[in-house]
């Protein structure tokens, strides 16, 4: 087994190799003067089971091209099997035609990864589970709920918790977490007027006196989360903490979270956190290295991955 990393999240790749007790594969990913990407795999991969760790986070297009070129390079070097490990799968929010003459970019990216030569894909908390069907190769969608529930049990008093979904679409995820920590469930009903903006309408469920745990897969601008936190507190919640898998946190999101009424935002390292995120007083990062490392080990040894979440 060989594991390589692009430039998107090398820190996470190194943590995964530490868990697996193997060295990180030697590869050079650099750019020509005109910003064309050049990849050189600097060790033999003939007949090897190759894993390429690369989140397609900002800058999404650069990191996606790095991934595609690394897949092509290892395929042409006669790797036996190539698994693209995407802790964060970019373009996942474009999973359907939201209007006339618009693309389904998630399907396009799935086609690109497949055509580049990947034999299978491993990712974490897809924005929509049906994206697995966009790939014509085996796809493992790992779940962060066991990781998040463990952290909640370590940092919160469970007797007064209520799990809250920030929208109707996230109810399945919220219900799975609530079941694991034996908590009640509430839902924030909101109306989105335009992309990037949301208006909270009402809270479904009684949150009075409860310490609320908001759970979602992606936080980008942070507007929806901050609005939900304010609505929950206005409805009588004691406190609001958010657990989000993918901390995109673009634009002024970090400052918005720091100034919000959230007690804490907990994100994973599926996207490499910036210095601003690490310096924020109410943002905490937990690692997915052990989860991804164990899934990679099981894939390499042909053992069950789904049993990780039983």
Whether residue 55 sits in one domain with residue 154:
no
Q: Are 249 and 256 in contact (CB under 8 A)?
A: no
List, as residue ranges, the binding site for ATP. Answer: 34-36, 93-94
Query: Helix (H, G, I), strand (E, B), or coil: what is residue 36?
Result: coil
163 and 136 belong to one structural domain = no
Q: SS3 of 108, please?
A: helix
Q: Taking a C-beta distance cutoff of 8 angstroms, is the pair 135, 110 a contact?
A: yes
As annotated, the binding site includes: 34-36, 93-94, 127, 167, 192, 216, 220-224
How do the pLDDT tens digits run along the chain, 310 residues long? 999 999 999 999 999 999 999 999 999 999 999 999 999 999 999 999 999 999 999 999 999 999 999 999 999 999 999 999 999 999 999 999 989 999 999 999 999 999 999 999 999 999 998 999 999 999 999 999 999 999 999 999 999 999 999 988 899 999 999 999 999 999 998 766 666 555 666 899 999 999 999 999 999 999 889 989 999 999 999 999 999 999 999 999 999 999 999 999 999 999 999 999 999 999 999 999 999 999 999 999 999 999 999 7
Q: Domain holding 246: CATH number?
A: 3.40.50.2020
How many angstroms separate the CA atoms of 122 and 52, rounded?
Answer: 10
The domain of 181 spans 145-287
Residues 197 and 112 in one domain: no
Catalytic positions are 190
Binding-site residues for Mg(2+), in ranges, read 127, 167
Is residue 271 within 8 Å of 156, Cβ to Cβ? no
- The reply to whether 211 and 301 lie within a common domain is no
Q: In terms of domains, do 121 and 158 share one?
A: no
Report the predicted TM-score, pTM, of the whole model to 2 decimal places.
0.94
Number of domains in the chain: 2
């Amino acid at each position: 087994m060989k594991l390589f990393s692009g430039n998107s999240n090398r820190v996470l790749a190194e943590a995964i190799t530490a868990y697996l007790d193997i060295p990180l594969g030697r590869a050079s990913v650099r750019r020509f003067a005109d910003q064309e990407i050049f990849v050189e795999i600097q060790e033999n991969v003939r007949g090897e089971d190759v894993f390429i760790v690369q989140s397609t986070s900002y800058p999404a297009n650069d990191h996606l091209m790095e991934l595609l070129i690394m897949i092509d390079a290892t395929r042409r070097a006669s790797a036996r099997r190539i698994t693209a490990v995407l802790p964060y799968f970019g373009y996942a929010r474009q999973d359907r035609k939201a209007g006339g003459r618009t693309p389904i970019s998630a399907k396009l990216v799935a086609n690109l990864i497949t055509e580049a030569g990947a034999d299978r894909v491993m990712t974490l908390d897809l924005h929509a589970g049906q994206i697995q069907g966009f790939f014509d190769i085996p796809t493992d969608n790992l779940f962060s709920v066991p990781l998040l529930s463990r952290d909640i049990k370590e940092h919160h008093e469970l007797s007064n918790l209520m799990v809250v979904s920030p929208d109707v679409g996230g109810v399945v995820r919220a219900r799975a977490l609530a079941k694991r920590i034996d908590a009640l469930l509430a839902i924030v009903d909101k109306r989105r007027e335009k992309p990037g903006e949301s208006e909270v309408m009402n809270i479904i469920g009684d949150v009075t006196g409860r310490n609320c745990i908001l759970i979602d897969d992606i936080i980008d601008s942070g507007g929806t989360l901050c609005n939900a936190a304010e609505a929950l507190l206005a409805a009588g919640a004691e406190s609001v903490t958010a657990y989000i898998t993918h901390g995109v946190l673009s634009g002024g999101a970090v400052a918005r979270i720091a100034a919000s009424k959230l007690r804490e935002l907990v994100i994973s390292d599926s996207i490499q956190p910036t210095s601003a995120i690490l310096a924020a007083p109410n943002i905490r990062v937990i690692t997915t290295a052990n989860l991804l490392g164990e899934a990679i080990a099981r894939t390499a040894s042909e053992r069950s991955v789904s049993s990780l979440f039983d």
